[in-house]
Structure 1
C-alpha cells in the first residue's frame, strides 16, 4: 500500500513523496539520491523538537487503526501525543492483534507521521517474538507468527544454515507487518548458570555465537541495509552474561557485572563479529562493571549506558563502530507500574537528576534512549547551552541514515492482504516445528527411543489431547506403560518490582516436592522426563531415576512427541553445561564458560537416537570440541 495523499511527480517525471507538502521535490525526498545525500539535506531542515524526537525509542500499544487518541498498552501516551506532538518516530510494539489488524494499524500510524513537519516516517521495532517466552521485558510469544525454539534451541542444533533460514523467515514476517527494526539478536554468552536472560542467547561458546550472529544479521539485513531489510540491534554490549550471582540488572540488586576469570575479551567476541557483519545498532546492557580494567586503566563503575570508556573509548574508537547506539529501556525516569516500583537503571549514577542522566548518556556516546520519551530534557539541555547541537546532529545523522536506507522515506506502508498471507504461512510454521523437534537434546535413555506407538501413556505437563495422537492416554499411572512428564527449569519466584515475576532467577534446584513426585512416579512406571531449559537446571535428583531424560528450549508438546517417537530425529546438544549442584554453581566464576566442578552434563552433551526399526547405539555424552560443539559423529 502507498499513500496517495502526498505522492507527487517532479517536472522530470520522478515520482516522490512530498513529505514537507510544498509541492517541490527536496533532495531528501528524491529517491534517486544516496542515503548520505538525502540525510545531509534533511538534517539542517529539522527543528530542535524534531531532532529531540528522533533521540527517543519508546513502547507503544497496538490499538484500533486510526484511533490515535486512545492510550494503548503500558504507555500512558496516545499515538498522537507521541508521533504528532513529541515527534517521536521510533516505536517498540508489544502484543499484536491479527496480521491484518496489525498492518492496518501500522499504515494508520504512517499516515499520522506524514502530518509532521517533514513527514519523517515511523520505524516500528519489536523484541524477539517467534518463540515461547512471554516476558514484556525480554521476548514475546509468537502468536500469529511462526513459532520456533528460543535461540538456545538453535544453538543446540548447531547449524549455521538453520540460523540463516530462521532469520530469513523472521525478516519476511516482520516486513509483512511493517516491523522494520529488530531489538535482537542477543549474543551475551551464557557463562553464569543462574542468569535469567540465557534463553534468547546462543549459549556459552564465543565462536559459535559469533558464527550465528553473523548468519542472523545476513539473513535479516542482507549485505547492506535496503528496502527488503530489517535493521537489527545486537545486544547487550559488551556482553551481559557475567552477572554477579546471576542476578539481573533490570533490578537494583543485580547491577554488578564481574570478571573474576579475566574473560572480558571473550564476551566481546560476538560483538566484533556483529560489527563486522554490519549490525545497524548496538545496545549496551544495564550492568555496572565492577573491578574491570581495560588497557591497564580501571573502568568507571557506572552502568554501560552511561560509561564513556565503554561506548566511546571501546565501541566507537577501538572497534571503529559508527552505527546507532541504542540504550536499553528506562535509564532516565523512575516509574511505577501496576502498583510496583521500576527504578531507572541508572546504576552508579542514581544520584543524578533525570536531566543530568540524559546529559551523561549522550556524553558517553549513545544516540538514542530506549523506553523513554523525555524530549523535554534534551530541549532543556540545548536551551541551557549544556548540550551542543552538533552533538545531537551526530546522533540524528546516524538515525536518519537507517530510515533512508530502509526505504521508509519512499514507502513505509504494507500490503494488508499480503500480511495475512505471509505471517504464519504454512511453510514457515512447518520449518519452526521441525526446528523445535530437532533441538530436543536426549541426555539419557537414547536406547529406549524412539517410543513405540500404541503405548499406554500417563502424562503430566503434556496436553492429553496431544499425547492421544501417540498412544492411549490413561488417568492412573498404575495403568500406564510409560509416564511422560514435562517440567520448567526451576527458579525462585519474586514479585517486588515491575516485571520481576517474569524473570527466572535464583537457585537452579528443583523444589523438594517436585523431586519427590517424579521419584515416586518413577517407582511405579518408567518415566520420560523433559525439562524446558531457559537456563541450566540441577538435574542430579533425576539422574538414574527416570528412564529417558531430555532437554528442550521452547518446544510444543507435539514437537516433543515427534522427537520422542522418531517422526523427527532429535539432534540437540547442550549449549551450556548442566551443573551437578548449586554448591558447584556458587563456586564458579560468572565470566568463565564451563566453570562448575564435575558437571552432570558438559557442554555439547547429547545422545543419538537410532531410527525406528534399526539397532540402537547408546551414545554417551559427546565430548565437546574446542568451539563448544559436540564432536563430529555424535
Structure 2
C-alpha cells in the first residue's frame, strides 16, 4: 500500500472500474504493461510450493512475476485440492508484494471429464466427473449445460481459477480431427444454444466478482482441418472450406459474443483458398479485426493460442513456433503482426522484452499496448481480484468434488449414453454370468457373476475406444488422429467374441468411429463420451435411463470420410448411423 493518507484510485473498490483502470495504467512502466500481454504456464510441486523444474517450467515463478511483471498464468497438471489452494495463495502473495500489487489471473484447461491431454484438457481428478462436451451435446439440454457451467464456476472459484480456457465451440465437421471430444458436435444450431448456457453458467448474467471468465475457442471455428490433421503441428496447419460453409462455423461464436463471453481464443489454423490472408488466425487482421471486432462487435480480450512466437520444448521435444504463414518472420515481427491483427495477449509465451523493444523502436506504439492492457486490467477489476485474490483451503476442500456436484456429473454420464442398436438384449435382468473386456471386473461383479471365459458366459460386455493411428513423439501421441477404422486384426478378435456370445459393445466416441461390422453383429451397441463402468452397467441393467442422441454421424467407411468435405457437417455418404440417432430402452 502506498504511504500517506490517500488511497490510490485503482485500489478503491468504490470507484468506477474504468476510473480504476486509467489510474493504474497511468502508474505503470512500459515493462509492467508489456508483462500483461503474456499468459504463460506454471506448474507446482505436489506440496503446494513453487516448481523449479518440470516439462512446462521455463522460468522460476518469482522471475516471471517479479522480474518480468507477468500476471496471467495457466496452471498445468493435477494436484491435491488443498495444495492447489495453498499454491494459489502463495502466487497471489508474491504478486501483492510487487510495486503495484497487481493480482494474478489464473486460468485452466477443462478439468471435469475423462480426456487427459496436456495440450487440451485434464481428466477430472478431484473435480466432479462429467461426460465430455460431446456427451452434453448428446443430451442436448441447455438447462443441464448451464448447471454444468455453474458447477465448474463454483469448483474453479474455490481453488482460485478465474478464467476458463473453454468452452470449445468448434464444429465437428471433419471426422478425423483429434479435438472433437471437446466440442458440442457437428450442429451449429445446437452448439450455439449450448454455448449460451455454458457462458451463463460460468459468468452469470454479467461478468462480476462471482464469475469465471469464459475464453471461447477456437475462432473462427477450428473444425475444417485439411485431412483432419491438427494445427498444433506443421502438417496440420491448413484450414479449408471446400463446401463454402465458413458462415456456418461462425454461428456459435456469434452466440458467444451476444451472451457476453469475456475472452476469445483464435486457433492456429492457416486459412487456404479464401479471401482471408493466408496466415494463422492469431496473426490474421481480416479475421480478428475485420470479422471479430468490427463485424461481430466483440470488445473483450483476444488471447492467442499457446506458442505463436517462439520455438519451445514441449514434454522434452523442441517444437517450432506455431506461426503458420509467418514462419519467415522474427519473433518481434510476429508479435507486431499479431498486435496489428487485433490480438491482446500471447498464450504460452513469456517474453515481454520483445514488446518493450517494439515500442522503443517505434514499430508498435505505446497507445496500442495500452489498448490491450486496458482490456486485461478491466477484467481483473471486474472479477474483483484486487479485493479478493486469496482462497480458503478449507472451503476449497469442501467444494471441489462435493456430493452435489458429483451426483450431477454421474447422472449426466448416464443420460449421455447413446443406444445405437438393441436386438432384445437390453435391459439386462438378474445376475447373469458375465464375460467382460475393457471394463473393471470388480465393478462388473456387483451386477453379475464374472467368468474368465466367454464360453461360460450368458453374455459379454466389451468396451472399446475409437481407433486412431499412432504418431511419433510424446506430445503428438495425445492427439488421436488418422484412420477411424478398427485395424484388421483387432476387428477379427472383436467379431470372434461377438460370434461366440451375445455381446453389449460400448464404444467411446472421442471421434466418429467406423464400425459397420460391429454394428451388424453386436447384440446391443452403445456409444459413450466419457462414462464410468458403473454408469454403463446401470443403464444396461435398467437402473438408469440413457437419453443420448448422436452429436455427429458415424461413417460407413474411411473412403466415405476421405470423400467428404471437412467444413460440411455430416457429409459422408450412407452413414451407418445419422446425426441425432439414438434409441429409447
TM-score by length of 2: 0.98
Contact 1:490 1:507 in 2 (8 A): yes
Partner of 1:266: 248
CA RMSD of aligned residues (A): 1.2
Q: CA deviation at 1:477?
A: 0.6
Partner of 2:475: 499
Q: CA deviation at 1:415?
A: 1.0
In structure 2, distance between residues paired with 1:68 and 1:601: 50
In structure 1, distance between residues paired with 2:204 and 2:18: 19
In structure 2, distance between residues paired with 1:233 and 1:80: 26
Q: What is the count of residue pairs matched by the alignment? A: 585
In structure 1, distance between residues paired with 2:278 and 2:430: 59
* Deviation by residue 1:224-249 (Cα, 9 ceiling, x = unmatched): 11110000100000000000110000
Change (3 A) 1:318 1:81: same
Change (3 A) 1:125 1:193: same
Contact 2:95 2:102 in 1 (8 A): yes
Match of 1:528 among 483, 497, 504: 504
Q: Which runs of structure 2 are paired with 1:355-434 in the superposition (5 Å)?
A: 355-434=332-411
Q: CA deviation at 1:513?
A: 1.7
Partner of 2:304: 327
1:439 is aligned to 2:421? no
Partner of 2:179: 197
Partner of 2:327: 350
Q: CA deviation at 1:530?
A: 0.5
In structure 1, distance between residues paired with 2:544 and 2:89: 40
Contact 1:487 1:532 in 2 (8 A): yes
Residue 302 of structure 2 aligns to a residue whose secondary structure is strand
Contact 2:150 2:201 in 1 (8 A): yes
* Deviation by residue 1:25-64 (Cα, 9 ceiling, x = unmatched): 1110011112111111111111111111100001100236
* Deviation by residue 1:518-546 (Cα, 9 ceiling, x = unmatched): 11111211111000011101011212211
Partner of 1:89: 71
Could you list the runs of 5+ residues in structure 2 that have no partner in the other structure?
none
Match of 1:311 among 288, 299, 309: 288
Partner of 2:164: 182
1:55 is aligned to 2:37? yes
1:135 is aligned to 2:112? no
1:538 is aligned to 2:514? yes
Residue 107 of structure 2 aligns to a residue whose secondary structure is strand
Contact 2:158 2:396 in 1 (8 A): yes
Residue 187 of structure 1 aligns to a residue whose secondary structure is coil
Residue 448 of structure 1 aligns to a residue whose secondary structure is coil
In structure 2, distance between residues paired with 1:168 and 1:486: 31
Could you list the runs of 5+ residues in structure 1 that have no partner in the other structure?
1-17, 293-297, 610-634
In structure 2, distance between residues paired with 1:444 and 1:184: 33
1:490 is aligned to 2:472? no
Residue 526 of structure 2 aligns to a residue whose secondary structure is strand
* Deviation by residue 1:291-318 (Cα, 9 ceiling, x = unmatched): 11xxxxx211110001011001111111
Partner of 1:340: 317
Contact 2:56 2:76 in 1 (8 A): no
Q: CA deviation at 1:117?
A: 1.2
In structure 2, distance between residues paired with 1:188 and 1:387: 32
TM-score by length of 1: 0.91
Match of 1:554 among 503, 525, 530: 530
Q: Which runs of structure 2 are paired with 1:449-468 in the superposition (5 Å)?
A: 449-468=426-445
1:98 is aligned to 2:74? no
Match of 2:567 among 587, 591, 613: 591
